[in-house]
Structure 1
Protein backbone atom coordinates (compact mmCIF):
# COMPACT_ATOMS: atom_id res chain seq x y z
CA UNK A 1 0.00 0.00 0.00
CA UNK A 2 1.52 3.29 -1.18
CA UNK A 3 -0.39 6.23 0.28
CA UNK A 4 0.05 9.60 -1.46
CA UNK A 5 -0.78 12.83 0.41
CA UNK A 6 -2.02 15.86 -1.52
CA UNK A 7 -2.77 19.46 -0.62
CA UNK A 8 -3.66 20.54 -4.14
CA UNK A 9 -6.50 18.13 -4.88
CA UNK A 10 -10.06 18.74 -3.74
CA UNK A 11 -11.89 15.41 -3.88
CA UNK A 12 -15.33 14.99 -5.36
CA UNK A 13 -18.10 15.39 -2.81
CA UNK A 14 -19.27 11.80 -3.37
CA UNK A 15 -15.79 10.51 -2.47
CA UNK A 16 -15.87 12.52 0.74
CA UNK A 17 -19.34 11.22 1.54
CA UNK A 18 -18.16 7.63 1.12
CA UNK A 19 -15.03 8.32 3.20
CA UNK A 20 -17.04 9.85 6.05
CA UNK A 21 -19.52 6.97 5.98
CA UNK A 22 -16.72 4.38 6.01
CA UNK A 23 -14.59 6.08 8.65
CA UNK A 24 -17.26 6.20 11.31
CA UNK A 25 -16.97 9.98 11.73
CA UNK A 26 -20.29 11.64 12.49
CA UNK A 27 -20.89 13.99 9.57
CA UNK A 28 -23.90 14.69 7.32
CA UNK A 29 -22.61 12.31 4.63
CA UNK A 30 -26.04 11.96 2.99
CA UNK A 31 -26.35 15.73 2.49
CA UNK A 32 -24.08 16.23 -0.53
CA UNK A 33 -24.96 19.92 -0.87
CA UNK A 34 -23.88 20.61 2.71
CA UNK A 35 -20.73 18.51 2.28
CA UNK A 36 -19.87 20.49 -0.84
CA UNK A 37 -20.14 23.75 1.10
CA UNK A 38 -17.94 22.28 3.83
CA UNK A 39 -15.27 21.45 1.24
CA UNK A 40 -15.48 24.76 -0.61
CA UNK A 41 -15.15 26.89 2.51
CA UNK A 42 -12.27 25.07 4.19
CA UNK A 43 -8.94 26.88 4.18
CA UNK A 44 -6.94 23.64 4.03
CA UNK A 45 -7.86 20.21 2.76
CA UNK A 46 -5.23 17.50 2.86
CA UNK A 47 -6.09 14.17 1.30
CA UNK A 48 -4.64 10.68 1.42
CA UNK A 49 -4.95 8.46 -1.65
CA UNK A 50 -4.35 4.80 -2.39
CA UNK A 51 -4.21 5.02 -6.17
CA UNK A 52 -7.46 6.72 -7.19
CA UNK A 53 -9.21 5.88 -3.92
CA UNK A 54 -9.64 8.58 -1.27
CA UNK A 55 -8.68 6.91 2.02
CA UNK A 56 -8.14 9.89 4.33
CA UNK A 57 -8.88 13.58 4.73
CA UNK A 58 -7.99 16.43 7.06
CA UNK A 59 -10.06 19.59 6.65
CA UNK A 60 -9.23 22.78 8.54
CA UNK A 61 -10.12 26.43 8.99
CA UNK A 62 -7.24 28.77 9.79
CA UNK A 63 -5.81 32.27 9.67
CA UNK A 64 -2.35 30.76 8.89
CA UNK A 65 -0.94 32.99 11.57
CA UNK A 66 -2.20 32.15 15.06
CA UNK A 67 -4.73 29.31 15.16
CA UNK A 68 -6.20 26.50 13.13
CA UNK A 69 -9.36 24.50 13.79
CA UNK A 70 -9.15 20.92 12.55
CA UNK A 71 -12.76 20.31 11.64
CA UNK A 72 -12.39 16.84 10.09
CA UNK A 73 -9.91 14.02 10.41
CA UNK A 74 -11.24 10.91 8.72
CA UNK A 75 -9.61 7.68 7.57
CA UNK A 76 -11.44 4.89 5.81
CA UNK A 77 -12.13 2.04 8.26
CA UNK A 78 -10.00 -0.52 6.37
CA UNK A 79 -7.03 1.88 6.40
CA UNK A 80 -7.18 2.90 10.05
CA UNK A 81 -4.25 2.09 12.34
CA UNK A 82 -1.74 2.49 9.52
CA UNK A 83 -0.50 5.98 10.47
CA UNK A 84 -2.61 7.84 7.90
CA UNK A 85 -4.28 10.09 10.48
CA UNK A 86 -0.90 10.86 12.03
CA UNK A 87 0.53 11.71 8.59
CA UNK A 88 -2.41 13.96 7.72
CA UNK A 89 -1.80 15.89 10.96
CA UNK A 90 1.94 16.06 10.22
CA UNK A 91 1.30 17.48 6.75
CA UNK A 92 -1.11 20.03 8.23
CA UNK A 93 1.37 21.09 10.90
CA UNK A 94 4.16 21.38 8.31
CA UNK A 95 1.93 23.63 6.23
CA UNK A 96 0.92 25.81 9.21
CA UNK A 97 4.32 26.20 10.88
CA UNK A 98 5.24 26.61 14.54
CA UNK A 99 3.37 29.87 15.17
CA UNK A 100 -0.06 28.32 14.65
CA UNK A 101 -1.85 26.34 17.35
CA UNK A 102 -3.98 23.41 16.21
CA UNK A 103 -7.24 22.71 18.00
CA UNK A 104 -10.19 20.39 17.55
CA UNK A 105 -13.34 19.07 19.16
CA UNK A 106 -13.07 15.34 19.66
CA UNK A 107 -15.82 12.80 19.33
CA UNK A 108 -16.19 10.88 22.59
CA UNK A 109 -14.93 7.72 20.87
CA UNK A 110 -11.68 9.45 19.84
CA UNK A 111 -10.72 11.06 23.17
CA UNK A 112 -7.89 8.57 23.71
CA UNK A 113 -6.63 8.88 20.11
CA UNK A 114 -5.61 12.53 19.97
CA UNK A 115 -3.04 12.49 22.81
CA UNK A 116 -1.17 9.90 20.72
CA UNK A 117 -0.84 12.62 18.05
CA UNK A 118 0.64 15.15 20.51
CA UNK A 119 -2.63 16.96 21.24
CA UNK A 120 -3.00 18.17 24.82
CA UNK A 121 -6.38 17.89 26.47
CA UNK A 122 -7.77 21.18 27.74
CA UNK A 123 -10.67 22.20 29.93
CA UNK A 124 -10.74 25.76 28.55
CA UNK A 125 -12.98 25.33 25.52
CA UNK A 126 -16.59 26.42 25.06
CA UNK A 127 -19.13 25.55 22.40
CA UNK A 128 -22.53 26.67 21.21
CA UNK A 129 -23.74 23.47 19.49
CA UNK A 130 -25.23 23.57 16.02
CA UNK A 131 -29.00 23.09 15.81
CA UNK A 132 -28.98 20.86 12.73
Structure 2
Protein backbone atom coordinates (compact mmCIF):
# COMPACT_ATOMS: atom_id res chain seq x y z
CA UNK A 1 0.00 0.00 0.00
CA UNK A 2 1.33 3.41 -1.02
CA UNK A 3 -0.91 5.62 1.16
CA UNK A 4 -0.79 9.39 0.88
CA UNK A 5 -3.13 12.22 1.87
CA UNK A 6 -4.37 15.27 -0.05
CA UNK A 7 -6.28 18.40 0.91
CA UNK A 8 -8.15 18.50 -2.38
CA UNK A 9 -11.80 19.20 -3.21
CA UNK A 10 -11.58 18.65 -6.95
CA UNK A 11 -11.94 14.86 -6.97
CA UNK A 12 -13.14 13.07 -10.09
CA UNK A 13 -16.80 12.16 -9.81
CA UNK A 14 -16.08 8.52 -10.74
CA UNK A 15 -13.76 8.23 -7.75
CA UNK A 16 -16.38 9.76 -5.43
CA UNK A 17 -19.13 7.54 -6.83
CA UNK A 18 -17.04 4.40 -6.30
CA UNK A 19 -16.20 5.32 -2.70
CA UNK A 20 -19.72 6.35 -1.65
CA UNK A 21 -21.31 3.32 -3.35
CA UNK A 22 -18.76 0.97 -1.80
CA UNK A 23 -19.90 1.97 1.70
CA UNK A 24 -23.54 1.92 0.56
CA UNK A 25 -24.16 5.64 0.96
CA UNK A 26 -26.47 5.55 -2.04
CA UNK A 27 -28.39 8.68 -1.04
CA UNK A 28 -25.28 10.64 -2.04
CA UNK A 29 -24.83 8.95 -5.43
CA UNK A 30 -28.42 9.38 -6.61
CA UNK A 31 -27.41 12.85 -7.77
CA UNK A 32 -23.71 12.89 -8.68
CA UNK A 33 -23.69 16.58 -9.63
CA UNK A 34 -25.04 17.43 -6.19
CA UNK A 35 -22.40 15.23 -4.53
CA UNK A 36 -19.57 16.83 -6.48
CA UNK A 37 -20.86 20.33 -5.72
CA UNK A 38 -21.23 19.46 -2.02
CA UNK A 39 -17.60 18.32 -1.96
CA UNK A 40 -16.43 21.43 -3.81
CA UNK A 41 -18.34 23.74 -1.44
CA UNK A 42 -17.11 22.04 1.74
CA UNK A 43 -14.86 23.92 4.13
CA UNK A 44 -12.21 21.21 3.77
CA UNK A 45 -11.78 17.76 2.28
CA UNK A 46 -8.91 15.49 3.24
CA UNK A 47 -8.63 12.35 1.14
CA UNK A 48 -6.56 9.18 1.41
CA UNK A 49 -5.09 7.63 -1.72
CA UNK A 50 -3.37 4.37 -2.51
CA UNK A 51 -1.51 5.38 -5.65
CA UNK A 52 -4.21 6.85 -7.91
CA UNK A 53 -7.12 5.18 -6.08
CA UNK A 54 -9.29 7.15 -3.68
CA UNK A 55 -9.59 4.92 -0.61
CA UNK A 56 -11.11 7.32 1.91
CA UNK A 57 -12.04 10.85 2.77
CA UNK A 58 -13.22 13.15 5.49
CA UNK A 59 -15.35 16.16 4.56
CA UNK A 60 -16.02 19.06 6.88
CA UNK A 61 -18.33 22.06 6.71
CA UNK A 62 -18.66 25.11 8.92
CA UNK A 63 -16.83 28.40 9.36
CA UNK A 64 -13.57 26.83 10.54
CA UNK A 65 -13.36 29.39 13.34
CA UNK A 66 -16.11 28.68 15.85
CA UNK A 67 -17.76 25.53 14.52
CA UNK A 68 -16.67 22.54 12.51
CA UNK A 69 -19.14 19.91 11.37
CA UNK A 70 -17.74 16.58 10.26
CA UNK A 71 -20.12 15.72 7.46
CA UNK A 72 -18.57 12.56 5.97
CA UNK A 73 -15.84 10.13 6.88
CA UNK A 74 -15.69 6.98 4.78
CA UNK A 75 -13.16 4.33 3.77
CA UNK A 76 -13.40 1.69 1.04
CA UNK A 77 -14.41 -1.61 2.61
CA UNK A 78 -11.17 -3.36 1.60
CA UNK A 79 -9.15 -0.64 3.39
CA UNK A 80 -11.18 -0.50 6.61
CA UNK A 81 -9.66 -1.41 9.99
CA UNK A 82 -6.20 -0.26 8.91
CA UNK A 83 -6.19 3.04 10.82
CA UNK A 84 -6.94 5.22 7.80
CA UNK A 85 -10.11 6.76 9.27
CA UNK A 86 -8.22 7.56 12.48
CA UNK A 87 -5.45 9.23 10.49
CA UNK A 88 -7.98 11.31 8.56
CA UNK A 89 -9.80 12.29 11.75
CA UNK A 90 -6.64 13.18 13.66
CA UNK A 91 -5.26 15.28 10.80
CA UNK A 92 -8.50 17.27 10.58
CA UNK A 93 -8.77 17.68 14.36
CA UNK A 94 -5.18 18.88 14.49
CA UNK A 95 -5.68 21.36 11.66
CA UNK A 96 -8.80 22.78 13.35
CA UNK A 97 -7.65 22.38 16.96
CA UNK A 98 -8.48 26.07 17.60
CA UNK A 99 -12.18 25.51 16.82
CA UNK A 100 -14.16 25.19 20.05
CA UNK A 101 -17.20 23.30 18.77
CA UNK A 102 -16.77 20.18 16.65
CA UNK A 103 -19.96 18.31 15.77
CA UNK A 104 -21.00 15.20 13.90
CA UNK A 105 -24.11 13.13 13.49
CA UNK A 106 -23.88 9.41 12.76
CA UNK A 107 -25.68 6.12 13.09
CA UNK A 108 -25.67 4.27 16.42
CA UNK A 109 -23.49 1.17 16.51
CA UNK A 110 -20.96 -0.08 19.06
CA UNK A 111 -17.99 0.16 16.69
CA UNK A 112 -19.07 3.60 15.49
CA UNK A 113 -19.44 4.88 19.06
CA UNK A 114 -16.03 3.43 19.97
CA UNK A 115 -14.34 5.10 16.98
CA UNK A 116 -15.62 8.58 17.82
CA UNK A 117 -15.04 8.24 21.56
CA UNK A 118 -11.42 7.15 20.99
CA UNK A 119 -11.02 10.28 18.86
CA UNK A 120 -12.18 12.55 21.70
CA UNK A 121 -15.88 12.94 20.94
CA UNK A 122 -18.61 12.59 23.54
CA UNK A 123 -22.11 11.44 22.73
CA UNK A 124 -24.75 14.07 23.47
CA UNK A 125 -26.71 11.43 25.40
CA UNK A 126 -23.75 11.20 27.81
CA UNK A 127 -23.12 14.88 28.46
CA UNK A 128 -24.82 18.19 29.07
CA UNK A 129 -25.78 18.83 25.44
CA UNK A 130 -28.84 17.92 23.48
CA UNK A 131 -28.87 17.32 19.74
CA UNK A 132 -31.70 17.95 17.30
CA UNK A 133 -31.94 17.16 13.62
CA UNK A 134 -34.38 17.46 10.76
CA UNK A 135 -33.65 15.09 7.88
CA UNK A 136 -35.64 15.00 4.65
**Cross-structure match for 1:87:** 87
Cα 1:27–1:72 change in 2 (3 A) is: farther
- TM-score, length-normalised on structure 1? 0.88
Q: Distance in 2 between matches of 1:59 and 1:27?
A: 16
Query: Per-residue CA shift, 1:8-67, capped at 9, x if unaligned?
Result: 353112211110111244542232111112112101000000000000000010212111
Q: Distance in 2 between matches of 1:2 and 1:120?
A: 33
- Cα offset for 1:78? 0.3
| Structure 1 range deviating more: 28-37 or 82-91 | 28-37
**Cross-structure match for 1:78:** 78
Cα 1:73–1:117 change in 2 (3 A) is: same
Give the superposed CA RMSD. 1.7
SS in 2 for 1:108: coil
| Residue-pair matches, total | 130
* Aligned residue among 91, 113, 116 for 1:114: 116
Cα 1:101–1:12 change in 2 (3 A) is: same
SS in 2 for 1:70: strand
| 8 Å Cα contact 2:4/2:49 also seen in 1 | yes
- TM-score, length-normalised on structure 2? 0.86
| 8 Å Cα contact 1:25/1:74 also seen in 2 | no
Gapped runs of 5+ residues in structure 2? none
